[in-house]
Structure 1
Amino acid sequence: MKLRPLEKRDLPYIYEQENSRKVMALWFEEPYTSFDELQILYDRHILDQTERRFVVEENDRFIGVVELMDIDTLHRHTEIQIIIHSEFQGHGYAQAAMRAGIEYAFTVLNMHKVYLYVDVNNSAAIHIYKKIGFIPEGTLRQHFFAEGEYHDSLMMGIFPHEFTF
């Protein structure tokens, strides 16, 4: 498994993910993006220094995406997000990809903290995040709206000294 920068040729895979209600609900976002809109967003954000998007792949197969969002160079923290394609879930890719994204944030971007938000009911993801070393920092009550209802979100964070490189 490796991470590489997201490229325009990956947009059909991203389009598939972003049009899945189930997948986008995990990111607390609305599905159904048009492919034209996705291309415009790609072009607009490709040079944005406050985010990094990586493709998770193995043997040239698209496995998923890891994103570092809201990169704050003053306070040195960033949010991490991940989506693993459903056919590859349960094979350890999420944990390996998260670890690679966190390592990039700490060693390349010199971040002091990496954080994430996860639905309090997503026990599988919370388990993975805790195994990596994320610590729960608090619950945001009814913080996100997805699939017709409000969801509580757990905020979790990790510092370099809590992460095993």
Structure 2
Amino acid sequence: MHIRALEENDLIHIHELNNKLNVMAYWFEEPYESLSELKSLYQKHIYDESERRFVIIKEGQFAGIIELVEIDYIHRNCEIQVIVKEEFQGEGLAQEAMEKGINYAFQILNLHKVFLYVDTENEGAVHIYKKLGFEIEGTMVEQFYMRGEYKDCYFMGLFKRNWKQAQM
């Protein structure tokens, strides 16, 4: 498995992910994007320094996406997000992609902290994030509306100093 920068020809795969309710629920977003809208957003953000998007490739196939968004160069932090296609889930790709995304954030961008939001009921994801060194910093009550109800989420963070220690 490896990651590489998102290219315009990857958008067809992103479009497929973005239009699945069960997938977008993990990001607390509704599935709605048309391919033309996605292409327009890609063009709009191609030079945006506040985000980095990578595709996850396994054996030459698109397997998912890992994103660093809301990159803040003053406070030196960003949000990280990952989605693995259903047929590749359970193979450890999310954790491996997260490791690569975190390394990029800390080693290339020199960020101080990486954070994420995760549904309190998504025990599998919480387990992976804790394994990577993320700590629950708080619970955001009824923060997101998904599938007809408000959902609580954890705000989890990982500091560069803790990541470096875990890598030793």
TM over 0.5: yes
| CA deviation string 1:57-80 (max 9, x = no partner) | 022111100000000000000000
What is the root-mean-square deviation of aligned Cα atoms in Å? 0.7
Fraction of identical pairs, as percent: 52
User: Partners in 2 of 1:45 and 1:30 — Cα distance?
Assistant: 20
Report the counterpart of residue 115 of structure 2 in structure 1.
115
User: Partners in 2 of 1:147 and 1:11 — Cα distance?
Assistant: 25
The SS at the match of 1:49 is coil
User: Partners in 1 of 2:60 and 2:8 — Cα distance?
Assistant: 15
Partner letter of residue 96 of structure 1? Answer: E
The SS at the match of 1:156 is strand
Report the counterpart of residue 69 of structure 1 in structure 2.
69
User: Partners in 2 of 1:114 and 1:35 — Cα distance?
Assistant: 29
| CA deviation string 1:108-165 (max 9, x = no partner) | 0000000000000000000000000000000000000111111001000001121133
User: Partners in 2 of 1:24 and 1:30 — Cα distance?
Assistant: 6
The SS at the match of 2:127 is helix
More divergent stretch after superposition (56-65 vs 124-133): 56-65
Report the counterpart of residue 25 of structure 1 in structure 2.
25
Q: How many residues align?
A: 165
Describe how 1:7-26 pairs up with structure 2 within 5 A: 7-26=7-26
| CA deviation string 1:5-56 (max 9, x = no partner) | 0000101100000000000111000102111101101110111000000001
TM-score, with length taken from structure 1: 0.98
User: Partners in 1 of 2:158 and 2:16 — Cα distance?
Assistant: 30
User: Partners in 2 of 1:71 and 1:146 — Cα distance?
Assistant: 25
TM-score, with length taken from structure 2: 0.97
Partner letter of residue 31 of structure 1? Answer: P
Partner letter of residue 159 of structure 2? Answer: F
| CA deviation string 1:78-124 (max 9, x = no partner) | 00000000100100000000000000000000000000000000000
Q: Where does the alignment leave 5 or more consecutive residues of structure 2 unmatched?
A: none
